[in-house]
């Protein structure tokens, strides 16, 4: 049978059984009138514990104190219903979140009968809701707080809907400035024009996501590199597009970093390429440098690297020493050398340098080496580096250069530099030992002429042969040097006296005397020597040599082929010569050079046949200066050319003015023959003066003919062709041989006054005079005897057949105006 009950009862039963809701009735005063199972479950009270009590017991103390229970009832009474979410207490004092509905209940008459109260425990939903809120809040804060990323929402049209701090930071817009604007403002003009913003949105719309990197623009117009992600947001239920989330990250830093990284990588790659190139280059440098390079492992002592040069030098051709210990592999001499060098280098803090003679695979060589110990940069490996240069040739060249710098190439004798060194040393040593040191200056007599007439090659041979002879006369510790030309010099050391130096000089002269055999010719030369001795003459090398040179000059003046020792008068004379040299040019221009005339007498007719013109220098301070005191200097300086022209012209002009037809004889220096123009000069003098050529005689000395100088003979012929006479002066003093008389058709021979002076005492002089006159007469050559001072000489010379005489007996050289024109008749 079905359970049948009244609707009231049914309703109450229903209420009673609802367990999810606390459903109960309150009296109009708020007293609990009934209690259902849900109420018991929710609040923990049983019906009998709670029915009849005021419902405020479910409220918290604070709410109770605030009068909430009554206020809520009042509201329900007024509005018919009160509803809230609030906190309620259980019996055990715990609070729960409750959804409370209080409905006012009226009877049919409209009178309030109480309140129906439904309370539902919503703690779980509440907590879930609270948790979701918390989550949402956190997420919002997160999004807002993320400052590295611009995170914002776009509406479906692309307008900015939300804006976070990162977006503000990245793009410079504040939320209120940008929300509502189209997101294309963030793009560059170019990108905007090409429609890039819409393309991005379109892709996100179609594919759900758009991702790219690109350049974006900030509010201030500056650009930055970004990584952009746009994602479409669809409504969960309808699947409709509600907008886009857009995340933009400022990649400028990263991009810069990436680019820097890229650059660094490229640089590193390039560097490594360069290093590879450099290493290749270094390999070829090592292979090609003209030095031996060896690298040894300091630990194992094995050879790690050896270039070709090293292998050729130490190991021999085709050998490789790499990977070996030097002593196991190389010949003992080189192994020992290398071992020594490498060991020294290995134990030496700094580079170790050496120069060593080594018996290498290519023979004895001088090796200049540097050995240094090196550590690899990381410090793991330790090497010994050997670099050896073959200095053999260089040293030989240096020795050669040194020898050349100190020796004369022609004779191999020390040169001036070495001579000065030796002399300086000898002077120091001599001073220490209390011994004398001598400097000798040597000069070949007439070498200039030999050289000029026989040629330089002949001269060179003569100098070489001469050097040998001189050297052979000296002791080991003496120095013989060639100072240049035909100038030689000697240092004699450890002497006890001046005489010792003089003896050596005499020996040297004697050594040179025997004829030289050169190119099949027999040839004799003389040598003049000047000697200066230290410490007496001077203690300084330079001055001593200068004094020796003065003594040499004196020896030459005194007749050559002899020696002379320095004495202080020579210094005075030398100063004098220097003075002469400077004065002579002025003298020439001021007409201080005049001619004096000495008569030449024709013995047979006893008349003055002519005059010899002899130069005189009328010095304003020093008075009359004789030719021997200035002609040699004029010859040395070349001034003789001008002086000779002056004498020639003056003689021609003066003679042209004389009454009668006496001849005039002018002396020509051998130096003047160097001027190929000489015949022309003579022709001009004749033409200018109007002197008949047959009245002019030119006196030359034998040296002009020395060595049969072809050029000079040509000049003589040209002179003779002018119609003038040629005389051979001072005959017998030089290297004379009567052969000269046949080599050129001389008009006159002048027998030197030295023979005339000696003729009365010396049979030899007499026989020379006789030989000359006999030959001359047979060749129809006139002879003039010079220096005739006595009648005895006159008679004897006449008896020997001399055609002419000249000397103080007849007259001294005097100015033209005072010249002797007529001889006194001979005494009967
Ligand atoms: P020389 O040509 O042999 O001249 C003869 C020299 O002997 C002259 O000396 C003369 O004064 C000197 N003398 C003449 N008779 C006697 C005598 O009886 N006894 C002595 N003891 N001497 C006598 P001087 O004038 O001093 O000339 C010396 C040399 O100077 C000359 O020697 C000549 O070689 C040279 N000389 C003179 N004038 C010139 C010139 O114009 N040009 C050149 N190139 N040389 C000249
Ligand atoms: Mg003369
Ligand atoms: Mg003479």
Q: Say which CATH number the domain at 625 has.
A: 3.20.20.450
In degrees, to the nearest 5, what angle opens at C-alpha 348 toward C-alphas 344 and 349?
165
* Ligand 1 close to Cβ of residue 697 (< 6 A): no
Same domain? For 30 and 89 the reply is yes
Q: Which of 600, 610, 627, 815 to mutate to test the pocket of ligand 1 (most atoms within 8 A of CB)?
A: 627
318, pLDDT greater than 70: no
Residue range(s) defining the domain that contains residue 166: 150-250
- Is 550 found in the same domain as 684? no
Q: Alpha helices, DSSP H only, in 592-746?
A: 631-637, 640-657, 678-689, 710-721, 740-743
Structure tokens at 135: 């989550």
HSE of 315, CA atoms in CB hemisphere, 13 A: 22
pLDDT of res. 400: 85
Are both 178 and 37 inside the same structural domain? no
763 in any annotated domain = yes
- Whether 754 maps to a domain, the answer reads yes
In this structure, what token pair is assigned to residue 193? 């024009």
Residue 221 token pair: 């117009």
Residue 670: pLDDT band (50, 70, 90) is very high
521 shares a domain with 451: yes
What is the distance between the alpha carbons of residues 542 and 385, in angstroms, rounded to a whole number?
Answer: 51
The Å distance, Cα 729 to ligand 3 centre, comes to: 5
CATH number of the domain residue 556 falls in: 3.30.70.270
Query: In this model, does residue 347 exceed pLDDT 80?
Result: no
Question: Is 304 part of any domain?
Answer: no
Q: For residue 680, what are its two tokens? A: 């022309």
Cα of 431 to ligand 3 centre, how many Å?
48
Measured from the CA of 808, which atom of ligand 1 is nearest? 18
Is residue 204 within 8 A of residue 231, CB to CB? The reply is yes
Ligand nearest to the CA of 634: 1
Q: Are residues 603 and 751 in the same domain?
A: yes
Within this chain, do residues 97 and 190 fall inside the same structural domain, yes or no?
A: no
pLDDT value for 695: 97
**Using CA atoms, how far apart are residues 626 and 390, in angstroms rounded to an integer?**
68
- 27: in domain: yes
- Longest CA–CA span in the chain (Å) reads 230
Say yes or no to pLDDT of 736 above 70: no
C-beta of 789 in contact with ligand 1 (< 6 A): yes
Q: CB of 297 within 8 A of CB of 383?
A: yes
Helices then strands, each counted (H, E), the chain = 29, 30
Cβ 624 under 6 angstroms from ligand 1: no
Structure tokens at 766: 């007499």
Ligand index nearest the alpha carbon of residue 813:
1
Per-chain residues with Cβ under 5 A from ion ligand 3: 729-730, 786
Contact 332, 340 (CB under 8 A): no
Do 559 and 587 lie in one domain? The reply is no
Same domain, 530 and 606: no
Strand partners, 385: 295, 372
Residue that terminates a domain, selected from 507, 540, 566: 566
Query: Ligand 1, atom 7: nearest CA belongs to which residue?
Result: 787
Query: Is 726's pLDDT higher than 70?
Result: yes
Contact 156, 243 (CB under 8 A): yes
Residue 706 lies in a domain: yes
In tens, the pLDDT along 501-531 reads 999 999 999 999 998 888 887 778 889 999 9
In a domain, 385, yes or no: no
* Domain identity same for 18 and 81: yes
Query: Which residue, of 523, 541, 566, is where some domain finishes?
Result: 566
Taking the CA atoms of the chain, what radius of gyration do you get in angstroms?
A: 69
Is residue 18 located within the same domain as residue 64?
Answer: yes
Is 689 domain-assigned? yes
Q: Do 562 and 583 belong to one domain?
A: no
φ, ψ for residue 592 (rounded to 5)?
-80, -10
Total count of domains within the chain: 4
Angle between helices 392-406 and 416-433 (to 10 degrees): 80
Does residue 667 line the site of ligand 1, with CB under 6 A? yes
Q: Are residues 625 and 774 in the same domain?
A: yes
Q: What is the CATH number of the domain that holds 50?
A: 3.30.450.20
DSSP H or E segment with residue 670: none
Cα 712 to Cα 180, 209, 744: the distances in Å are 126, 121, 11
Helix (H) or strand (E) holding 566: none
Q: Looking at the CA of 667, which ligand is closest?
A: 1
**Which of 566, 591, 619 lies at the terminal end of a domain, its last residue?**
566
| Residue 345: pLDDT over 80 | no
Count other Cβ atoms within 10 Å, centred on residue 309. 20
pLDDT digits (tens, 9 = 90+) for 166-181: 888 888 999 899 999 9
241 in a domain, yes or no? yes
Residues in the chain, overall count: 828
Per-residue pLDDT reduced to its tens digit, 566-594: 999 888 878 877 888 889 989 998 999 99
Q: Whose CA is nearest to atom 15 of ligand 1?
A: 807
CB of 63 sitting under 6 A from ligand 1? no
Measure the CA–CA gap between 659 and 661, rounded to whole angstroms. Answer: 7
């Amino acid at each position: 049978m079905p359970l049948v009950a009244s609707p009231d009862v049914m309703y109450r039963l229903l209420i009673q059984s609802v367990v999810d809701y606390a459903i109960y009735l309150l009296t109009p005063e708020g007293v609990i009138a009934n209690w259902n199972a849900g109420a018991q479950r929710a609040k923990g009270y049983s019906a009998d514990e709670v029915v009849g009590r005021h419902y405020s017991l479910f409220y918290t103390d604070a709410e109770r104190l605030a009068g909430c229970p009554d206020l809520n009832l009042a509201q329900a009474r007024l509005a018919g219903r009160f509803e809230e979410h609030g906190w309620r207490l259980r019996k055990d004092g715990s609070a729960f979140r409750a959804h409370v509905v209080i409905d006012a209940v009226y009877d049919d008459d409209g009178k309030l009968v109480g309140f129906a109260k439904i309370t539902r425990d919503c703690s779980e939903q509440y907590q879930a809701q609270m948790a979701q809120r918390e989550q949402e809040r956190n997420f919002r804060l997160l999004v807002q707080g993320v400052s590295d990323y611009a995170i914002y929402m776009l509406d479906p049209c692309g307008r900015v809907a939300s804006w976070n701090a990162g977006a503000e930071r990245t793009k410079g817009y504040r939320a209120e400035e940008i929300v509502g604007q189209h997101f294309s403002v963030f793009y560059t003009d170019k990108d905007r024009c090409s429609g890039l913003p819409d393309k991005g949105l379109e892709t996100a719309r179609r594919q759900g996501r758009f991702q790219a990197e690109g350049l974006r623009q900030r509010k201030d117009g500056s650009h930055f590199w970004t990584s952009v992600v746009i994602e479409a947001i669809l409504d969960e239920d309808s699947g409709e597009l509600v907008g886009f989330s857009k995340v933009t990250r400022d990649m400028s830093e990263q991009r810069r970093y990436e680019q820097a990284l890229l650059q660094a990588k490229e640089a590193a790659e390039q560097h490594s390429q360069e290093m590879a190139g450099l290493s290749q280059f270094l390999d070829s440098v090592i292979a090609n440098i003209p030095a031996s390079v060896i690298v040894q492992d300091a630990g194992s002592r094995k050879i790690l690297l050896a270039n070709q040069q090293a292998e050729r030098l130490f190991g021999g051709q085709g050998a490789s020493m790499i990977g070996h210990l030097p002593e196991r592999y190389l010949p003992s001499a080189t192994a020992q050398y290398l071992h020594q060098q490498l060991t020294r280098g290995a134990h030496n803090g700094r580079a170790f340098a050496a120069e060593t003679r080594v018996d290498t695979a290519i023979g004895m060589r001088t090796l200049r080496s540097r050995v240094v110990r090196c550590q690899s940069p990381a410090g793991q490996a330790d090497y010994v580096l050997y670099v050896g240069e073959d200095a053999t040739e260089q040293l030989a060249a240096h020795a050669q250069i040194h020898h050349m710098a100190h020796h004369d190439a022609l004779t191999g004798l020390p040169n001036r530099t070495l001579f000065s060194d030796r002399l300086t040393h000898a002077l120091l040593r001599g001073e220490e030992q209390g011994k004398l040191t001598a400097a000798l200056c040597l000069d070949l007599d007439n070498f200039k002429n030999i050289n000029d007439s026989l040629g330089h090659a002949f001269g060179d041979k003569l100098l070489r042969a001469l050097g040998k002879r001189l050297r052979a006369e000296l002791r080991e510790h003496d120095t013989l040097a060639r100072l240049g030309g035909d100038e030689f010099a000697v240092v004699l050391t450890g002497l006890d006296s001046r005489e010792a130096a003089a003896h050596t000089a005499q020996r040297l002269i004697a050594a040179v005397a025997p004829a030289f055999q050169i190119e099949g010719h027999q040839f004799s030369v003389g040598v003049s020597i000047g000697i200066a001795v230290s410490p007496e003459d001077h203690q300084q090398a330079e001055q001593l040599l200068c004094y020796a040179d003065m003594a040499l000059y004196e020896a030459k003046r005194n007749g050559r082929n002899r020696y002379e020792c320095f004495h202080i008068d020579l210094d005075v004379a030398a100063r004098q010569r220097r003075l002469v040299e400077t004065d002579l040019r002025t003298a020439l221009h001021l007409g201080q050079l005049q001619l004096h005339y000495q008569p030449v007498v024709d013995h047979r007719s006893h008349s003055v046949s002519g005059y010899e013109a002899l130069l005189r220098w009328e010095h304003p301070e020093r008075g009359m200066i004789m030719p021997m005191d200035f002609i040699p200097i004029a010859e040395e300086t070349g001034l003789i050319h001008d002086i000779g022209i002056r004498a020639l012209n003056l003689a021609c002009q003066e003679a042209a003015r004389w009454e009668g037809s006496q001849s005039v004889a002018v002396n020509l220096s051998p130096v003047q023959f160097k001027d190929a123009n000489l015949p022309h000069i003579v022709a001009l003098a004749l033409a200018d003066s109007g002197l008949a050529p047959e009245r002019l005689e030119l006196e030359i000395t034998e040296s002009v003919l020395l060595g049969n100088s072809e050029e000079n003979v040509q000049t003589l012929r040209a002179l003779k062709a002018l119609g003038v006479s040629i005389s051979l002066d001072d005959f017998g003093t030089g290297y004379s041989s009567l052969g000269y008389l046949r080599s050129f058709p001389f008009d006159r021979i002048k027998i030197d006054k030295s023979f005339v002076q000696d003729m009365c005492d010396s049979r030899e002089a007499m026989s020379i005079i006789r030989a000359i006159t006999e030959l001359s007469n047979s060749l129809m050559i006139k002879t003039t005897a010079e220096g005739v001072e006595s009648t005895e000489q006159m008679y004897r010379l006449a008896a020997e057949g001399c055609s002419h005489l000249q000397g103080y007996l007849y007259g001294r050289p005097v100015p033209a105006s005072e010249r002797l024109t007529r001889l006194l008749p001979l005494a009967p």
